[in-house]
Structure 1
Amino acid sequence: MNKDILDTDIQLFINNNLYTDVSDLILKGIPFNHIDSKLIIEQIEAKKRSVKKLPTWFNSENIYYPNKLNIEQTSSEITAKYKADLVSGNSLIDLTGGFGVDTYYFSKQISTVIHCEINSGLSEIVKHNYKTLNVPNIECLNENGIDALKRIDETFDWIYIDPSRRDDAKKKVFLLSDCEPNVKTFQGLFLKYAKNVMIKTSPLLDIKATKNDLKYVNELHIVAVNNEVKELLWILERNYKSELKIKTTNLVKSGQQVFEFNFEEESTAIAKYSAPMVFLYEPNSAILKAGAFNAVSALLNITKLHKHSHLYTSDALVEFPGRRFKIEKAIPFNKKIFAKEKISKANVTTRNFPLSVGDIRKKLKIKDGGNIYLFFTTNLSDEKIILICSKI
């Protein structure tokens, strides 16, 4: 960490050039001879990536940023707030602290928090930023989290771990056993020192396989932001032996779309099927990741259009964790029949349909946008159909 970066003139230069093309800055030259220009460029690029993701950091003065890869890998503030709402108690240790966004929000719920980060430069940055942000109850340790846990040798209310999902060659990995540290190996140690453990994993991990890798899983939270799944949160509780509870949450501007069910419930739930009715429902991405296709039908008392379509319908409008539409018309997938509708502009979605959105637009000459929503899907009779809808 080069503290010259925090000089008033350099900070002003960074803020004034957040949206300047980096190539132009390099060509013109950075007007500070006593500091490596690459460091200033790095600060500009990292801060620019924090505008929406980390508004608290972005809007605070004298924040020191790590490289842009650290910013890309760190939790957003919106998901960090979500995680913080899941914990309570007096003590928590974050074994893989990183840039410290999750730890920052945990400190608002927990009295004493420890941030472990093995990278000395990053640990120093985080410690500086916490001081700048006036956070008094986080202790920063420049130490491997596993080693710190053993050395401290005390129990915590919570352990939090976000294992690295990149290998030594900086390639992304998606198996739990390929992450560092290997939580499958160390879960016994975690539960020795804490009754509750939260593990953040990649949204690409297979839920069933990961469930089999972990012991005493109480809850799985599948967290999406604006319909993009961002993380899976596994909550382990020492000696827990009941059913795994799954909570899907889509964080949107209007609030949270939530759907909860038990893991075994999906295999025993019986979905109902029907032709399109008055309303159409499209599940959000968190539900699709959870694979709760039968449970959605059974628990919300709505019917599916087809086993593999994952679209639902009903005569009476219900609250639904996803998008809702009114079906104006259902027609066969036929170019001549569609031409009679005189639709030249629409939003197109496919579910269980052989053609891509691009192919459909080209074939039927449909421009993107407007207030009409077209769903190209398959019905109970395995017929290809088009649902002409308006959004609710």
Structure 2
Amino acid sequence: MNKAVLNKEVQDYINCHLQADVHQLAMAKSPFAEVSSRELATQISAKRKSEKKLPTWYATPFIYYPEPLSIEQSSSEKTAAYKASLLAKGSVLDLTGGFGVDSYYFSKRAERVVHCEINTGLSEIVFNNLKALKTPNIECIAGDGLAYLKSIPDYFGSIYIDPARRSHSGKVFMLQDCTPNVIEHLDLLLNRATRVILKAAPLLDISAALKELSHVAQIHIVSTKNECKELLFILEKDAKGPVKITSTALNDSVKQFSFSKEDPIEIHFPSAVATYLYEPDVALLKSGGFYQIALQYDLLKLEEQTQLYTSEEYKPEFPGRIFKVEELLQAADLKKNKNLSGNVIVRNYPAKAEELVKKYKIKSSDEDFLLFTKTKYTGLQIIRAKILQHY
């Protein structure tokens, strides 16, 4: 960490060049003797990435930014605030602290937070930024979080851990392959906290994870703009009974769907597509509660393998997109129409969207949609619809 970056004249320069071409800036001569052009470009690039994701950091003077990749990998303020709502009462140990966004939001709910970060340079940056953010109740430990936990006698209300999910071979799908290995250290973690909050890769299969993990009390799936951002396992030593799964869509409003795999389900399919069509948010789809969605929102599922739902009623509380059905079509109808337009969505249909656009010469549209799908009783179906609710 180059503390000269925090000099007022350097900070003024960074703020005045937020729209500059960082590649040209990196190759130009620096106007400051103690700060290189590359350092200036890094600060500008990382700060730009923070504007929407981390508005508190962006708006706070004298924030020191790490490499832009650290910003990309950090939690957003929205998701960090959600995770803070899951904390048990008491102090918090953030075992894999990173840029400190989660710890910052944990500190708003806990009297004491310990932020552990094995990268000493990043730990120093976080320490500086927490002073700028006026957050006195966070202690920064530059070192391995598990080693720190083993070295102290403290008992925490919550331990948060976000293991590294990349291996040399690419994407990691098993918890035991992550670093640190939560499976190997699970007894230690559960004996030192009321609650362990484990963040896993969104691509991780929930059923497979439940075979690896014990003591799971809850699972939380969090999305923003239909992109799965967080897969969280809440572990408690005395966890018993069915695991509660909660899907949360964090958009302009917050919408949630909760169920247990043991909940009774009733399976009903419509004889025809009704007035409104419902497409679940990715967080709901990740949960696997396809029939529970229909039951909770009083909808009918189009077909066993079709994750679309229908109803005669408009239900704006539904987490996902909602369409008003305009017309039900078959492939033969499209062949006759020489002026088709609409965004193409394919759900359980034997063709790809780009193939259908090319085949039927479909022009794009902002509000009109053509949904190619399959229903239980009418088979392959094309639905022309207007969108009423976005993600």
TM over 0.5: yes
- Structure 1 unaligned regions, length at least 5: none
Alignment of structure 1 residues 132-171 onto 2, 5 Å: 132-167=132-167, 169=168, 171=170
- Structure 2 unaligned regions, length at least 5: none
Q: Please, what TM-score do these two structures have when normalized by structure 2?
A: 0.94
Q: How far does residue 145 in structure 1 lie from its aligned partner after superposition?
A: 0.7
- Mapped partners of 1:36, 1:174: distance in 2: 40
Equivalent position SS for 1:281? strand
1:95-144 superposed Cα distances (whole Å, 9 cap, x missing partner): 11111000000000011111111111111110110001000111111121
Alignment of structure 1 residues 15-34 onto 2, 5 Å: 15-34=15-34
The aligned residue for residue 12 of structure 2 is 12
1:237-285 superposed Cα distances (whole Å, 9 cap, x missing partner): 11211110000011111x11211100233xx523211121121111110
Equivalent position SS for 1:305? strand
1:280-329 superposed Cα distances (whole Å, 9 cap, x missing partner): 11111001111111111233221111111111111233342211122111
2:342 aligned to 339, 343, 346, which one? 346
- Mapped partners of 1:96, 1:37: distance in 2: 31
- Mapped partners of 1:344, 1:333: distance in 2: 12
Q: How far does residue 341 in structure 1 lie from its aligned partner after superposition?
A: 5.8
- Mapped partners of 1:137, 1:339: distance in 2: 66
User: Percent identical across equivalent pairs?
Assistant: 44
- Mapped partners of 2:99, 2:349: distance in 1: 43
CA contact (8 A) 1:345 1:370 kept: no
The aligned residue for residue 219 of structure 1 is 218
Give 1:311's aligned amino acid: L
> Does the alignment pair 1:310 with 2:316?
no
The aligned residue for residue 113 of structure 2 is 113
- Mapped partners of 1:283, 1:118: distance in 2: 39
Equivalent position SS for 1:221? strand
Q: Please, what TM-score do these two structures have when normalized by structure 1?
A: 0.94
- Mapped partners of 2:375, 2:331: distance in 1: 11
Give 2:208's aligned amino acid: A
Q: How far does residue 390 in structure 1 lie from its aligned partner after superposition?
A: 1.9
The aligned residue for residue 244 of structure 1 is 243
The aligned residue for residue 188 of structure 2 is 189
CA contact (8 A) 2:26 2:40 kept: no
> Does the alignment pair 1:320 with 2:318?
yes
Alignment of structure 1 residues 5-84 onto 2, 5 Å: 5-84=5-84
CA contact (8 A) 1:375 1:387 kept: yes
- Mapped partners of 1:388, 1:51: distance in 2: 38
CA contact (8 A) 1:199 1:235 kept: yes
CA contact (8 A) 1:88 1:110 kept: no
Q: How far does residue 38 in structure 1 lie from its aligned partner after superposition?
A: 2.1
The aligned residue for residue 207 of structure 1 is 206
> Does the alignment pair 1:287 with 2:281?
no
In the comparison of the two structures, how many residue pairs are matched? 386
The aligned residue for residue 383 of structure 2 is 387
CA contact (8 A) 2:165 2:179 kept: yes
Q: Which moved more, 1:8-17 or 1:122-131?
A: 8-17
The aligned residue for residue 231 of structure 2 is 232
- Mapped partners of 1:384, 1:47: distance in 2: 49
Give 1:232's aligned amino acid: L
Equivalent position SS for 2:366? strand
Q: Which moved more, 1:382-391 or 1:93-102?
A: 382-391
1:146-183 superposed Cα distances (whole Å, 9 cap, x missing partner): 1111111111111111111123x594423211111011
- Mapped partners of 1:386, 1:303: distance in 2: 17
- Mapped partners of 1:387, 1:182: distance in 2: 47
Equivalent position SS for 1:370? coil
Equivalent position SS for 2:26? helix
CA contact (8 A) 1:123 1:140 kept: yes
- Mapped partners of 1:195, 1:25: distance in 2: 50
Alignment of structure 1 residues 332-343 onto 2, 5 Å: 332-334=330-332, 337-338=333-334, 343=339
> Does the alignment pair 1:357 with 2:356?
no
The aligned residue for residue 363 of structure 2 is 367
